[in-house]
Amino acid sequence: MSQTLKEQRRRERLREYEAELVSARSALEVLALFVHAREARSRGESLEEAFAATPVGDTDANPPFPAAVWVTLRQGDIDVTMHLLVEQSSTDFVIAAHEQLDVGYRLTTVEENRALPDVARLQAQLASFLHVPADVVAVIASWGPDDPRTSAEIDALLEQRFGTATIRATWPPARPEQASTPPAPAPDPGTGLTMSADEFGALLNLSPDQHNVLATLVRQTAIVINAH
């Protein structure tokens, strides 16, 4: 194979690898919805510890993912989740290969590999922890987080197993300051005239008593003077 063809093949494999990562991110976003839905039905349990203690098959070959994976999914931090999965991955994606002589002057094949996040293994662990069949979790993950069926099916599955949610699970999760304090509505300059009580009193040449009444009204409510 010529060098040009090798480079072209390597670029194609890199594109395939990136496509695998995009697919993994989509699946992880769905798994985060499962985590949020389970957290919404929590009764004070330490869910991340229970998740980390959930074995899947041969624990020597496939040790359970740690509690940190549950926590990052709960926070909606897919980048860190991907990093954790890649760190513990046993799945390699071959980008390219070339032959070279080893120390014994034997021709050997050297591969350029990149680790893939082991999403299937995580799905199996999560399915076992949630008492949902693994193939069902895999199918829902294939739908993606934006499919209207996804959230509805997750809620239905977990309601059967853990009851009604006590809090509303959302995706992506709201930041703490967003959840506690709703943002103030932006002023709409087209709705009318906005003035201070002093400015309005001076404009109408109000008496001191009338100005006091206006000031009281402004403290109690917002006054908007419309054009019509």
CB atoms within 10 A of CB 125: 26
Cis peptide before 172 (omega within 30 of 0): yes
* 155, two tokens: 């809620």
CB atoms within 10 A of CB 66: 14
Is the pTM for the entire model greater than 0.85?
Answer: no
C-alpha angle with apex 45: 43 to 49, nearest 5 degrees? 155
Check residue 47 and give its pLDDT: 96
Note down pLDDT in tens along the chain; length 228 residues. 577 888 888 889 889 989 999 999 999 999 999 999 999 999 888 999 999 999 887 767 788 999 999 999 999 999 999 999 999 887 887 787 766 677 776 777 677 888 899 999 999 999 999 999 999 999 999 999 999 999 999 999 999 999 998 866 555 555 444 444 455 454 454 545 566 666 666 667 667 666 666 665 655 455 555 554
- Rg of the chain on CA atoms, in Å: 29
User: Which of 226, 26, 14, 37 is closest to 144 using CA atoms?
Assistant: 26
User: Which of 45, 38, 43 is closest to 158 using CA atoms?
Assistant: 38
